[in-house]
């Protein structure tokens, strides 16, 4: 998709040229970390930094496991107008309080500088190298806004209304659609009416995202994460039926259309130009378990949302000369999070389910020259594995401490009691998760507290445990530390 004008492309090219000049002395990789709500973005970044800075167990991250990384430290980030990722507070929450940190609500950034020795004998002759890893954290919902740049208000309204009438969204959209049915788009513009409709539309989007629905295709993304734009006209509109051009000047429809265009210009374009177009590598985190719990409609919706997200990237490679003016994302990792909520025997099934859902989008990125991988991972492993006996049968179990207030098997937990249970098995056939009415073994997922950190015999506190965080690091930056 083409989301930018010639003016935007010129600004992007000038910015890239300046950054590439700096890369000569201090090579930098800009890593985008995104995912839909509650996919684990904040936890991933915190665990990544904690393991590198404090000496984690990363056997599959070869530059680290072979001892070639001599130092990893946080340094001031390069962009003074972007909030710093609050690493210290997030570590405190995970390690000291054993609570999950607050979710991503806005864009933030962190620079991790890695000192390393090259694996190449020739490069070793020139001394140690450094790599700046600029980690850019942003909500995946913002990516769902990028396709809006190619749509006008009428086409977006038509698509949004069709989605709202889908049976999977009927109850969530009921109040908004009922009020919309009383509205005449040709009536005079009215700020009070616009505010009411926008609030009902936002309630509908929020209800779609609730656990019992777990739906994902929810643009405009800033309606759920407004930040300092809360209450502004650029966020006070909603879809309307019909063509705005068929209504008189000064009508409600014309006002809504104008605000839709303002949203694209004020919110979406700056994000694309100033942040999104500057990425080199990307990880997309996915909470597939929540969608699997909610059923086939949520699974299909997750697949549609992720396909939209992957279609937004500029994948592939460029020539050396072309790379001076434009960035391409040449590696994309799709991380299926919360793998610690399943027995390890189900991890490959989880990966196959995502591969099936995203096959067309993955093929498009690969055909453009990008490498795409899928990994079941847990940035912070909150459980252990064991065996439970049930009806004379031994079942692979998950052992952990449920969050305070979590309910399971009719019992409410206090946040201190450890339990063991069998979560169920994912289906062998990845296509079956999208088949409505097909019987499937029930899955049970419990939210666990972060683990208490282990100590060595010498009393040294170890880093946060994980599942395949080292594999993620190897794929995303391993080649840049060769």
Q: What is the pLDDT of residue 353?
A: 94
In the predicted model, what is the mean pLDDT of residues 112-137?
81
70 pLDDT higher than 60: yes
> What is the CA 289 to chain-centroid distance, rounded?
14
144 pLDDT higher than 90: no
313 pLDDT higher than 80: no
Question: Residue 18 CB: number of other CB atoms within 10 A?
Answer: 10
User: Averaging pLDDT over each range in 6-15, 112-121, 252-261, 327-336, which range is the top one?
Assistant: 252-261
Kindly tell me the sign of the dihedral angle through the C-alpha atoms of 350, 356, 357, 358. positive
Query: For 22-45, how does the pLDDT look when each residue is reduced to its tens digit (9 = 90+)?
Result: 555 678 999 999 888 788 999 999
> What is the CA 158 to chain-centroid distance, rounded?
27
Query: For 433-482, how does the pLDDT look when each residue is reduced to its tens digit (9 = 90+)?
Result: 877 544 455 677 889 999 998 776 665 677 899 999 999 999 999 999 98
As a whole number, the mean pLDDT across the chain is 86
Distance CA 39, CA 44 (A): 9
At residue 371, the 3 state secondary structure works out as strand
Q: Return the residue matching tokens 């984690």.
A: 56
In the predicted model, what is the mean pLDDT of residues 176-188?
96
- Domains defined for the chain, CATH in brackets: 6-138+275-381+468-481 (3.40.50.300), 150-269 (no CATH)
Distance CA 92, CA 100 (A): 10
- Between strands 69-75 and 108-116, the pairing is antiparallel
Q: What is the pLDDT of residue 121?
A: 56
Q: What is the pLDDT of residue 325?
A: 46
Query: For 228-253, how does the pLDDT look when each residue is reduced to its tens digit (9 = 90+)?
Result: 788 899 999 999 999 999 999 999 99
Query: For 193-240, how does the pLDDT look when each residue is reduced to its tens digit (9 = 90+)?
Result: 999 999 999 999 999 887 666 677 678 988 988 877 888 999 999 999
Report the DSSP beta bridge partners of residue 108.
137
Residue (of 36, 134, 130) closest to 82 by Cα position: 134
Higher pLDDT, 321 or 270: 270
In the predicted model, what is the mean pLDDT of residues 374-399?
90
Distance CA 404, CA 415 (A): 4
- Between strands 411-412 and 407-408, the pairing is antiparallel
DSSP for 161-213 reads: HHHHTSGGGHHHHHHHHHHHTT--TTSBP-HHHHHHHHHHHHHHHHHHHSTTT
Which whole-number Å values give the CA distances from 308 to 141, 157, 216, 380, 420, in the listed order? 11, 17, 11, 28, 38
321 pLDDT higher than 50: no
């Amino acid at each position: 998709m083409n989301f930018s004008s010639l003016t935007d492309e010129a600004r992007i090219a000038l910015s890239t040229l300046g950054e590439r000049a700096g890369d000569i002395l201090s090579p930098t990789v800009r890593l985008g970390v995104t995912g839909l709500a509650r996919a684990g973005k904040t936890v991933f970044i915190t665990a990544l930094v904690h393991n590198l800075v404090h000496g984690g167990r990363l056997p599959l991250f070869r530059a680290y496991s072979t001892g070639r990384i001599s130092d990893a430290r946080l340094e001031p980030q390069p962009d003074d107008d972007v909030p710093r990722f609050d690493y210290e507070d997030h570590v405190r929450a995970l390690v000291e309080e054993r609570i999950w940190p607050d979710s991503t609500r806005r864009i933030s950034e962190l620079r991790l500088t890695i000192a390393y020795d090259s694996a190449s004998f020739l490069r070793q002759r020139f001394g140690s190298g450094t790599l700046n890893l600029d980690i850019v954290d942003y909500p995946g919902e913002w990516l769902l806004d990028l396709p809006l740049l190619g749509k006008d208000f009428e086409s977006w309204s038509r698509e949004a209304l069709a989605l709202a009438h889908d049976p999977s969204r009927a109850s969530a959209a009921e109040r908004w659609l009922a009020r919309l049915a009383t509205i005449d788009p040709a009536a005079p513009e009215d700020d009070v009416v616009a505010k009411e409709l926008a609030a009902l539309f936002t309630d509908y989007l929020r209800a779609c995202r609730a656990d019992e629905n777990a739906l994902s295709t929810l643009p405009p993304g800033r309606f759920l994460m407004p930040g300092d734009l809360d209450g502004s006209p650029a966020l006070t509109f909603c879809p309307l039926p019909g063509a705005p051009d068929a209504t008189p000047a000064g009508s409600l429809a014309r006002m809504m259309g104008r605000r839709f265009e303002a949203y694209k210009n004020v919110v979406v374009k700056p994000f694309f130009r100033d942040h999104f177009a500057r990425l080199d590598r990307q990880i997309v985190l996915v909470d597939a378990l929540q969608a699997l719990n909610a059923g086939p409609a949520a699974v299909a919706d997750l697949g549609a949302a992720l396909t939209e997200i992957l279609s937004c990237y500029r994948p592939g490679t460029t020539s050396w000369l072309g790379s001076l003016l434009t960035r391409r994302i040449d590696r994309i990792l799709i991380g299926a999070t919360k793998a610690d909520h399943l027995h390890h025997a189900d991890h490959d099934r989880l990966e196959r389910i995502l591969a099936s859902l995203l096959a067309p989008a993955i093929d498009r990125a690969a055909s453009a020259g990008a490498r795409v991988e899928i990994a079941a991972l847990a940035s912070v492993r909150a459980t252990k594995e064991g065996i439970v006996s049930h009806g004379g049968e031994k079942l692979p179990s998950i052992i952990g401490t449920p969050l305070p207030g979590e309910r399971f098997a009719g019992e409410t937990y206090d946040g201190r009691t450890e339990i063991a249970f069998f979560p169920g098995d994912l289906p062998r056939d990845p296509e079956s998760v999208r088949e409505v009415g097909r019987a499937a073994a029930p899955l049970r997922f419990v939210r666990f507290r972060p683990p208490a950190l282990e100590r060595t015999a010498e009393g040294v506190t170890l880093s946060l445990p994980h599942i395949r965080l080292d594999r993620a690091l190897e794929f995303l930056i391993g080649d840049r530390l060769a």
